[in-house]
A and B are shown apart, each in its own frame.
Chain A
Amino acid sequence: MKDIVIKTHKLTKKFGDFVATNEVTFEVERGEIFGFLGANGAGKTTAMKMLSGLLRPSYGEAMVAGFDVYKETEKIKRNIGYMSQKFSLYEDLTVEENIRFYGGIYGLSNRQIKEKSTALLERLNLMRDAKTLVASLPLGWKQKLSFSIAIQHEPTIVFLDEPTGGVDPVTRRQFWDMIYEAAASGITVFVTTHYMDEAEYCNRVSIMVDGVIEALDSPAGLKTRFNAHDMDEVFHQLARGAKRGE
């Protein structure tokens, strides 16, 4: 039987007359790397906010990690991780302090935090930098640390909002190695990106245009359907017609 960790049905958010996310219906399986693509302003951020329990939908249904997005938002927040390029770590806290702070936020005990942070620092080879301020780490390291912190409480799902924007090409690939590893350990990865090569690394990809999911399939399936040679072409075919130029 399929193990579904995100299930939505006609999930919708309106701001006044503006329908940001319009009757979106999809499912994501456990351990899947799910690419959530769309043009700027297509409604991705709004959808992600609803799925992470931060924004109440106008109507429609959604279950995330087995919890209802209307009634169980606090439980959702405990069972997901979140990271974005815009908001990740506290620059004026040290590496260690950030790990401890987020561990606390995600509800880990002091003992768990201690164990986890040692393991995390070792895995990232950051032992010597434990007392370094995050502000002085290179961007690539920040992103890797931020991702590790977002999954230190072993969430069911981790939401990654443009995690690799501006990162150098080697680090960008190392970051995807970490995504693969997390997915292999059973964490579902829900990721947005503007790099179309990264869309190819996802098990399935959805492409939103003007608030609606226009296509959802494996990268191979999408390329066949749109008779395209890569995901960039698929994206262009779908998003070219977008009316909302956010």
Chain B
Amino acid sequence: MNAIEIQNIVKTYEKGSVQALNEVSFQVRPGELFGLIGPDGAGKTSLFRILTTVLLADSGKASVDGLDVVKDYKAIRQRVGYMPGRFSLYQDLSVEENLNFFASIFKTTVAENYDLIKDIYVQLEPFKKRKAGALSGGMKQKLALCCALVHKPSVLFLDEPTTGVDPVSRKEFWGMLKNLKAQGISILVSTPYMDEASLCDRIALIQDGQILSIDTPEGVIADYERPLWSVQGPNMYQLLLDLRDFRFTERCYAFGESHHLTLSDDTQAGEAEVRAFLEERNHQETQIALITPTIEDCFMALMRD
């Protein structure tokens, strides 16, 4: 039995004029860390709300832990953990009070499942008397995760837990997810940061309510259809403009310290032609190398199709 089963889910808003989810289907296997990767407005939150039984789909079917999201909503709520994108704990309760509150709602105690949250909670413990509203961003995020775990859920839903979080804290958070996965919890996590995709077992790329691709991160990358070149030079901005102007260029995007270049399908042109063109445009000391695409390269290629 899959942890999550989604079949042809459709969701519209504003009397059907805004399509949030368009025939979305995928499965999350037991114990899997599954990433839903896409920008704001892709439909990620709508899907999370449908799966956690707080929103009804227009059509399609979905189940969590073998339970139907419409018929069995009460049972689902007992066994899933949900960390919404917006901080949703009680700001005027202390760290400890929030945790006890969520434990009691699920008719359990913090002590009963302490093993699961221990590693995260020890970092919060020095502040246990502090009101949640007065916590720093990183601490709020840790408390929200503890509260979502306090009843030992079988499936955990994390909606953009790392948005607006700095790269070091993001890395730390993914470390925590890895530990939870090791304890057998199935996790569906969404993120707009493409670099986090490689930390998931499998991913679904989503844009405008539509799934672009579902695979392992390695599988998505292997599907990139053509060679990808990295190009570097002393004058990066001019280099970008010129590369886009090259007649064999299919697309060229800035990627930090280098530009990523894909040549069009119908050309035999390669590194030599690129090099000759750049010399013609007076670019000196350019470095060109064949590279493995990143998830972001793949996402942009799929967006254009």
Q: Show the binding face of A for B, using Cβ within 8 Å.
A: 38-41, 138-140, 162, 165-171, 173, 176, 180, 194-201, 219, 230-232, 235-236, 239-240, 242, 244-246
The smallest C-beta distance from B141 to any residue of chain A, in angstroms, reads 10
Minimum CB distance partner of B162 in chain A = A194
Q: Which listed residue, B38, B138, B256, touches A197 by the CB 8 Å rule?
A: B256
- Chain A residues whose C-beta falls within 8 Å of the C-beta of B163 in the assembled complex: 165-166
Minimum CB distance partner of B123 in chain A = A245
- Chain A residues whose C-beta falls within 8 Å of the C-beta of B138 in the assembled complex: 40-41, 245-246
- Chain B residues whose C-beta falls within 8 Å of the C-beta of A138 in the assembled complex: 41
Given A139-B39, A230-B257, answer yes or no on A169-B299 (Cβ-Cβ < 8 Å): yes
Q: Show the binding face of B for A, using Cβ within 8 Å.
A: 38-42, 136-139, 163-171, 192-194, 207, 236-237, 253-257, 296, 299-300, 303-304
Minimum CB distance partner of A41 in chain B = B136
Q: Which listed residue, A168, A176, A200, A245, touches B207 by the CB 8 Å rule?
A: A168
A213 to B33 Cα, complex, angstroms: 37
The smallest C-beta distance from A176 to any residue of chain B, in angstroms, reads 7
A and B contact pairs by CB, cutoff 8 A, 19 listed:
A38-B166, A41-B136, A165-B163, A165-B164, A168-B207, A168-B299, A169-B194, A170-B303, A173-B253, A194-B164, A194-B167, A197-B256, A219-B257, A231-B257, A235-B166, A239-B166, A242-B168, A245-B138, A246-B136
- Chain B residues whose C-beta falls within 8 Å of the C-beta of A198 in the assembled complex: 256
The smallest C-beta distance from B143 to any residue of chain A, in angstroms, reads 12
Minimum CB distance partner of B139 in chain A = A245
A165 to B255 Cα, complex, angstroms: 16
- Chain A residues whose C-beta falls within 8 Å of the C-beta of B194 in the assembled complex: 169
Q: Which listed residue, B193, B253, B256, touches A200 by the CB 8 Å rule?
A: B256
A167 to B193 Cα, complex, angstroms: 10
Q: Do A232 and B167 touch (CB < 8 A)?
A: yes
- Chain B residues whose C-beta falls within 8 Å of the C-beta of A219 in the assembled complex: 257
Q: Do A139 and B169 touch (CB < 8 A)?
A: no
- Chain A residues whose C-beta falls within 8 Å of the C-beta of B257 in the assembled complex: 197, 200, 219, 230-231
- Chain A residues whose C-beta falls within 8 Å of the C-beta of B299 in the assembled complex: 168-169
The smallest C-beta distance from A114 to any residue of chain B, in angstroms, reads 32
The smallest C-beta distance from B203 to any residue of chain A, in angstroms, reads 15
Q: Which listed residue, B39, B42, B170, B237, touches A180 by the CB 8 Å rule?
A: B237
- Chain B residues whose C-beta falls within 8 Å of the C-beta of A167 in the assembled complex: 39-40, 192
The smallest C-beta distance from B86 to any residue of chain A, in angstroms, reads 12
A39 to B165 Cα, complex, angstroms: 8
- Chain B residues whose C-beta falls within 8 Å of the C-beta of A230 in the assembled complex: 256-257
A240 to B169 Cα, complex, angstroms: 9
The smallest C-beta distance from B232 to any residue of chain A, in angstroms, reads 11
Given A162-B164, A167-B40, answer yes or no on A231-B169 (Cβ-Cβ < 8 Å): no
The smallest C-beta distance from B224 to any residue of chain A, in angstroms, reads 14
Besides the known contacts A140-B39, A167-B192, 18 further A-B residue pairs in the complex with CB atoms under 8 A apart:
A40-B137, A40-B169, A162-B164, A167-B40, A168-B42, A169-B300, A169-B303, A197-B254, A197-B255, A201-B236, A230-B256, A231-B256, A231-B257, A239-B166, A239-B167, A239-B168, A244-B136, A245-B139
- Chain A residues whose C-beta falls within 8 Å of the C-beta of B167 in the assembled complex: 194, 196, 232, 235-236, 239
Minimum CB distance partner of A232 in chain B = B167
Minimum CB distance partner of A184 in chain B = B237
- Chain A residues whose C-beta falls within 8 Å of the C-beta of B39 in the assembled complex: 139-140, 166-169, 171
Given A236-B171, A245-B136, answer yes or no on A40-B256 (Cβ-Cβ < 8 Å): no
